[in-house]
Chains A and B, each alone.
Chain A
Amino acid sequence: MPRNRSVRVAALGSSVQRSASQPYPSQKSSALKRRIVVGVLVVLALALITVSFRASGLTALQDTGATVLRPFQVASDRVARPFQDAYDWFAGLVHAKSENAALRKQVDALRNQAFRNQQAVQENTMLRAELRYVDGPRFPQDYDYVATSVIAPPQSRFDQTMVIDAGSNFGIRRDYPVVTPDGLVGRVTRVGKTVSQVMLLSDESSAVSASDQNHPGATGIVKHGQGGADTLILDRVDKSQTVAVGDPVITQGSPGNGLLPSIYPRGIAIGSVTSVGQNDTDLYKQIQVQPFVDFSSLRSVLVLVPKKPSTAP
């Protein structure tokens, strides 16, 4: 069967040849019309763009157009507003959970940051106080100091020792006094290479020769009291001496530089007298001392290092 048969051939079996394919006049005019319309519109749009860029004449026209459109836009906005609000509300609900989790994370991070800041402020205050103390007149002249932090506080009421973050590497030796700007803390009892153990004044085996600052004749030994870890007693003060409540108690040091000098330099504050008593049967006065140092909240201390170390082992 020939490939180029016409419709007529197919339908009627006639051999009349179809004329060459020509577009219908209407088709031609439609295509032309189409091209003219789109061409005009494109040229018009380009002209508008050009005029918009080159002259401000269209600005006023555009403003007028925008003014005319404004009421329609306002009306449209008002109609759409409830739907928008409803959408925002639902979207808010959807996002609330993830937002909540993110905010919680943020709160935790900020809380940690605030905690660190608070710690830094406290540390700063403490270090400033230490600096004032070591530069001040109360600091013993024959001593240098090693400022260090407490890495293990007292473990229990019965174990009044703590560990500090400095040892022989800083020149610390056994029996070196340990102080804070508030007063005496205790003495070094064990020395490691990088850490040391400090026995606090509140330990039962601690004893420090001390005197009443206002009445220097009233001397005795400060040691652990019966009323708890935060209470000391000033023992062995002769009943003939005068001691008043509120008097500061300080270390006595080594008056006269005897053969067995005190390990504590003179004049370090220990505490203040809170009660004074005596009776006929006891040999000495009964004096209670409230220490200036709060042993439960120690975070950093100063170890006093003699400028002329003792040659004794």
Chain B
Amino acid sequence: MEVVLALFVLMLSLVLAGVSFIAYKKSHLRPALYLLVAFLLLAIKKGVELLQLTQRIEKDVGLVIGGLEVIFLLLFVLALWRR
């Protein structure tokens, strides 16, 4: 069940990255670019978690996941920052 949920989050992140990409292509709005990178990072994070969940990675990836989470949130804040 955990793997199914992780796969779902991974797919949703990629869909959102795709939507952000179309939005950026149409508008060249910088926040859309931040969101695109943020959702791609989220997908990578979920991918790493999935690999660990299926025991394809045995190393401790806590730091990598934590780092990706921080960058994801920072990019999100940056995208929503009112200038």
To the question of whether A and B form a pair in one complex, the answer is: no
Binding site for A on B (CB under 8 A): none
